[in-house]
Each structure stands twice: as structure tokens, then as C-alpha cells.
């Protein structure tokens, strides 16, 4: 398979890139990389009403953000272009004409009403609705009559009778479909635009695609596509249909289960490497216990034979766990840059971020980085740094400050703060150690009252961050409110 592999991602630009699409793109990308093949991106925009350039841009930008670039296709060019289906209409028209002339396709003049009546009749008989072939063998006279009436016409593919169509799926094994259940289907609509099944076959064949990896929702299209490959004298690619993604209640993943678009996750401060890691585990399972993978490691390890037939369940806790892992591994600068827009939105940051503010924000981020599942959560953790009016969170906090040792602790703490030339996390750590030693009270009796006096809370970031983040003046302002009477 080496070298000759050509895979593609062929999104319909009718909305943003979704989790399922991103997973298909990733699996294809991994195959291309693994086998030194090529990844092609093609835009399937034959649904004129729902397609937009905006969605196209969104999808392509999201792919690049995930790190999934491509070798050939839209934005890139290549020998098999154009890579947008609406720019390839002549190809489809020509192929449809050929099928018409060979009798493998025919014009259908049925009206919407007629088709609907047929559908209802099928349902009433308890059969799968399908086209029953009313226009299959029209006489010349009938045709002329319909043309004279000015009826609109579609082009239908003549589905062979009494055949078993076998999809040899790399994930699902052989899946057999009876041609009789399929009904002649439209390949070109009355406005001259090809349907998905027709365009996809011509494009995959002409673009030399060797492997089609896509969502299970397309499995039932595949027998139609296989018949078209044969009718058009093309060799079909290998197919792999990856399972649906379900929500935790085991119904098909939808907005009800949480955000479904990649941009929504990006917008909440999820990292691309976490999403990639999460997406690959939606259907593929690694050989060992390890679940954390870089793209490079995945290129090594990924294979279609470890892609499961059963549905994948979207587990947001898992994504949060992975994302938290990658946030902790990231540089504080990276997370600071991602955090600033959220801090701004919450009103914590206003105006320009000067180099001094940036350095200060870095400390703020460093103090909470380990608690974040996604960067947007930062605003829940950093309120203590922005408002010098300290209110006691609860009775427990109030109680901490009532301990008889508090006045001595606070006096010693003030003294230390006054003596420090520069207040950094490093020397604050040393100062706190010295303070504990000096007071001979044990860590908790020292740290807890200082924490509560500065923040009003019994939990929060490390004191050796809180102290330098607040700085001497603001520390004094806060102590004056919370423990002044006792100092």
C-alpha cells in the first residue's frame, strides 16, 4: 500500500467542521502519512442552497488548526482539479450523457406529487419507499408528450435487477445489499446539478482515490456508488466506514450533548492536540494502555484494523481530562495568550496589555494552569486577584481568622513582606518556609490564615503565587480589611 495511497476528505460546506467530520479527516490524514501517500481535500458543494464559502473557509481553517494539512486540493491545487464540485459540472454532465446513451441511465419526468404518491403507496404496503421505475421504459411518444408539457426532468441511474451488491468494508467486513431494494436513483437533478452519489464516484475515480474512509452514515450510499463505478468502468477504491459518534445517552451525537463543532471547542480554549488525541480515540483503540498520543506517534501506531465496528461514545470528561493534560504541559506563555481574550471578556483585563501587565498575567496563569480543563475556565479561578475588597467566603473562613495564633502570624507575615526586596514566587516560597520555622506552629496554622486574610477563601492557588501576584501594597490593603484589628 506504500506510496500509492491516495485518500481524501470531502466535506460539504453547509456548516462548520463537526466532530465527526474532523475524525474522518484525521483518520484519512493518518493513513496518508503512515503510508507516505497523499491527502486530498475536495469541496462537495452541490447542495447550492446550503453551501457557503464561509463554511468552506471555516472547515479548512479548522483542519489547519488541528494540524491536518493536505497535499492536494482546494487552496493547494494539483493535477486533478478543480477541487470544488460546482466547478466540475461539465465532467458530471458528460458522464451522465454517456450513461444515457448507453441506456444505463434515463430521463425521468415524474413530478413531486407523483413521487410522493408512490412513496406513500410503498409505505402503505409496508415496503421501503423507492422509485418503482415509472419512467424506466418510456416510449418515444410519452417522452415527447412530457417534453411538450414542459415537465422538468431528472436523470436516473438504471439499477440492475436481482443483484447482491457487496460492500467489502475494511472496518465492517462484507455488507450485502439487494439491488432490488434500491430503486433507480437520481444522478442529475432537474437543474443539471449532480447528486452526491454521482459526483462522489466521478471525483474519487478521477482523483485516483485508493481508500475512502468516512462516517457510517454513508454506508447505505456505497452500494449505489459501487454500481456507478461499474457502469462507468472505474475500479472502486477500498472503503472503510467508521462508526457513528453517540452521546452519553447512546443517541446520535447532537447539539443536545454539547458543542459539536471544532470551532466551539477552540472558542472555549481547547487545544488542537487534545482534540486530535480525543478524536482518534473515538473509534480507534491503541494496542497498549497508553492513551496520550502526539500526531507523530499516531502516524506510527494508527491502523484501520483497530477501528471498531461499534459506535463511539462522546465523553466530554475524557476530552476535559486530555485537554487539562495538554494545558499543564503547555508553556505559560501559550496559555496566557489564549487566556487574555477570556479575561478581557470577563472584564478582568481592559486596555492594552503592556509588557509589565503581560508578565503579571503570566504569574496569574501559572497559578491556576494546573486546574484548567479548558482555558475559558480561567475566569472562575482568578477573581481573587482582581478585587481588593475581600469578603469571607463562609463560616469556615471566618473561623480560621479567630484562632488565637492569628495575630502573631499576621505580625510576622507583615514583617517579612516589609523586608522582601522583590517579591517573586521563588523567594516567597523561601519566605514562607522561614516564617513557619520562626513561628513554630506548623504549616497549616501559618498558611491558612494568610490565605484567608488575603482572599477570604480556604482554597485556591498556591500562596507563593498569590503573594507576588498581589504585591506588597495590595497585600496591605487586604490585611487592613481582614485582620487589622488583630494585628
Q: Which residues are catalytic?
A: 255
**Contact criterion met (CB below 8 Å) for 341 and 375:** no
Kindly tell me which of 58 and 428 has the beta carbon lying closer to ligand GLU.
Answer: 58
Binding track, positions 71-110, relative to ligand GLU; x by CB under 6 A: ----------------------------------------
Interface with ligand GLU includes 211 (CB under 6 A)?
Answer: no
CB of 253 to ligand GLU, least distance (A): 15
From the list 4-12, 284-292, 333-341, 458-466, the region that binds ligand GLU by CB under 6 A is: 4-12
Kindly tell me which of 40 and 382 has the beta carbon lying closer to ligand GLU.
Answer: 40
Question: What are the Cα distances from residue 375, in Å, to 95, 137, 304, 365, 461?
Answer: 51, 63, 33, 10, 16
CB of 299 to ligand GLU, least distance (A): 21
From the list 6-14, 143-151, 153-161, 474-482, the region that binds ligand GLU by CB under 6 A is: 6-14
Three-state secondary structure of 186-247:
EEECCCCCECHHHHHHHHHHHCCCCEEEEEHHHHHHHHHHHHHHHHCCCCCCEEEEECCEEC
The C-alpha cell that represents 225 in the structure block: 456508488
Single out the residue of 5, 6, 7, 11 in contact with ligand GLU (rule: CB under 6 A).
11
CB of 69 to ligand GLU, least distance (A): 18
**Contact criterion met (CB below 8 Å) for 19 and 29:** no
Tell me the DSSP string of 126-144. T-------TTTT--HHHHH
Single out the residue of 143, 218, 230, 381 in contact with ligand GLU (rule: CB under 6 A).
218
Kindly tell me which of 245 and 327 has the beta carbon lying closer to ligand GLU.
Answer: 245
**Neighbouring C-alpha atoms within 13 Å toward the C-beta of 278:** 27
CB of 460 to ligand GLU, least distance (A): 46
Q: How far apart are CA 324 and CA 460, in angstroms?
A: 17
Query: Could you count the other beta carbons within 10 Å of the beta carbon of residue 164?
Result: 10
Site size for ligand GLU, by CB under 6 A? 7
Interface with ligand GLU includes 200 (CB under 6 A)?
Answer: yes
CB of 212 to ligand GLU, least distance (A): 6
Q: How far apart are CA 24 and CA 27, in angstroms?
A: 5
CB of 215 to ligand GLU, least distance (A): 7
Single out the residue of 19, 44, 198, 273 in contact with ligand GLU (rule: CB under 6 A).
44
Kindly tell me which of 10 and 280 has the beta carbon lying closer to ligand GLU.
Answer: 10
From the list 5-13, 68-76, 129-137, 181-189, the region that binds ligand GLU by CB under 6 A is: 5-13
Q: Are strands 173-178 and 164-169 parallel, antiparallel or unpaired?
A: antiparallel
Tell me the DSSP string of 93-112. HHHHHHHHHTTSEEEE---H
Interface with ligand GLU includes 214 (CB under 6 A)?
Answer: yes
CB of 65 to ligand GLU, least distance (A): 19
Q: Locate cell 453551501: which residue?
A: 51
Single out the residue of 12, 243, 377, 455 in contact with ligand GLU (rule: CB under 6 A).
12
From the list 7-15, 156-164, 310-318, 452-460, the region that binds ligand GLU by CB under 6 A is: 7-15
Q: How far apart are CA 484 and CA 487, in angstroms?
A: 5
From the list 8-16, 103-111, 360-368, 399-407, the region that binds ligand GLU by CB under 6 A is: 8-16
Query: Could you count the other beta carbons within 10 Å of the beta carbon of residue 458?
Result: 15
Interface with ligand GLU includes 428 (CB under 6 A)?
Answer: no
Single out the residue of 7, 10, 167, 431 in contact with ligand GLU (rule: CB under 6 A).
10
Touching ligand GLU, residues 146-165 (CB under 6 A): none
Closest CA to 338 of 269, 412, 237: 269
The C-alpha cell that represents 1 in the structure block: 500500500
Ramachandran area for residue 153 (φ above 0: left; ψ -120 to 50: alpha; else beta) = beta
CB of 20 to ligand GLU, least distance (A): 9
Q: How far apart are CA 64 and CA 41, in angstroms?
A: 12
Percentages of the chain per state (helix, strand, coil), in multiples of 5: 50, 10, 35
Kindly tell me which of 56 and 184 has the beta carbon lying closer to ligand GLU.
Answer: 56
> Which residues are at the interface with ligand GLU (CB under 6 A)?
10-12, 44, 200, 214, 218
Amino acid at each position: 500500500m506504500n506510496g500509492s495511497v491516495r485518500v481524501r476528505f470531502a466535506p460539504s460546506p453547509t456548516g462548520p467542521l463537526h466532530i465527526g467530520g474532523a475524525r474522518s479527516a484525521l483518520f484519512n490524514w493518518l493513513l496518508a502519512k503512515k503510508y507516505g501517500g497523499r491527502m486530498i481535500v475536495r469541496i462537495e458543494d452541490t447542495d447550492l442552497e446550503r453551501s457557503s464559502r464561509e463554511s468552506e473557509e471555516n472547515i479548512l481553517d479548522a483542519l489547519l488548526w488541528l494540524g491536518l494539512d493536505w497535499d492536494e486540493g482546494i487552496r493547494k491545487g494539483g493535477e486533478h482539479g478543480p477541487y470544488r464540485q460546482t466547478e466540475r459540472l461539465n465532467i458530471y454532465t458528460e458522464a451522465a450523457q454517456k450513461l444515457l446513451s448507453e441506456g444505463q441511465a434515463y430521463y425521468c419526468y415524474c413530478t413531486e406529487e407523483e413521487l410522493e404518491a408512490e412513496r406513500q403507496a410503498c409505505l402503505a404496503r409496508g415496503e421501503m419507499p423507492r422509485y418503482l421505475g415509472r419512467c424506466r421504459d418510456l416510449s418515444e411518444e410519452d417522452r415527447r408528450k412530457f417534453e411538450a408539457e414542459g415537465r422538468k426532468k431528472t436523470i436516473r441511474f438504471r439499477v440492475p435487477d436481482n443483484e447482491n451488491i457487496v460492500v467489502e468494508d475494511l472496518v465492517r467486513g462484507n455488507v450485502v445489499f439487494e439491488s432490488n431494494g434500491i430503486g433507480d436513483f437520481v444522478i442529475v437533478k432537474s437543474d443539471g446539478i449532480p447528486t452526491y452519489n454521482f459526483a462522489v464516484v466521478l471525483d474519487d475515480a478521477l482523483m485516483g482515490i485508493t481508500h475512502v474512509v468516512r462516517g457510517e452514515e454513508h454506508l447505505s450510499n456505497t452500494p449505489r456508488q459501487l454500481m456507478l463505478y461499474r457502469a462507468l468502468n472505474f475500479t472502486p477504491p477500498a472503503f472503510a466506514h467508521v462508526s457513528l459518534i453517540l452521546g452519553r445517552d447512546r443517541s446520535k451525537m447532537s447539539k443536545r450533548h454539547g458543542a459539536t463543532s471544532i470551532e466551539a471547542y477552540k472558542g472555549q480554549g481547547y487545544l488542537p492536540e487534545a482534540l486530535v488525541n480525543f478524536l482518534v480515540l473515538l473509534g480507534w483503540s491503541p494496542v497498549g494502555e497508553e492513551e496520550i498520543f502526539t500526531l507523530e506517534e499516531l502516524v506510527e501506531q494508527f491502523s484501520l484494523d483497530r477501528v471498531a465496528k461499534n459506535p463511539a461514545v462522546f465523553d466530554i470528561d475524557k476530552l476535559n481530562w486530555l485537554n487539562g493534560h495538554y494545558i499543564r504541559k503547555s508553556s505559560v506563555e501559550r496559555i496566557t495568550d489564549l487566556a487574555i481574550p477570556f479575561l478581557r471578556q470577563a472584564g478582568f483585563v481592559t486596555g492594552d496589555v503592556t509588557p509589565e501587565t503581560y508578565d503579571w498575567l503570566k504569574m496569574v496563569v501559572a497559578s491556576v494552569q494546573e486546574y484548567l480543563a479548558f482555558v475559558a475556565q480561567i475566569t472562575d479561578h482568578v477573581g481573587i486577584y482582581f478585587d481588593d475588597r475581600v469578603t469571607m467566603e463562609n463560616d469556615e473562613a471566618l473561623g480560621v481568622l479567630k484562632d488565637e495564633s492569628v495575630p502573631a502570624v499576621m505580625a510576622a507575615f507583615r514583617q517579612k513582606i516589609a523586608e522582601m526586596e522583590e517579591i517573586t514566587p521563588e523567594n516567597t516560597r523561601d519566605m514562607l518556609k522561614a516564617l513557619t520555622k520562626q513561628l513554630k506552629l506548623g504549616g497549616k496554622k501559618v498558611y491558612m490564615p494568610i490565605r484567608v486574610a488575603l482572599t477570604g477563601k480556604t482554597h485556591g492557588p498556591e500562596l507563593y503565587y498569590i503573594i507576588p501576584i498581589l504585591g506588597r501594597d495590595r497585600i496591605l490593603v487586604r490585611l487592613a480589611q481582614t485582620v487589622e484589628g488583630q494585628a
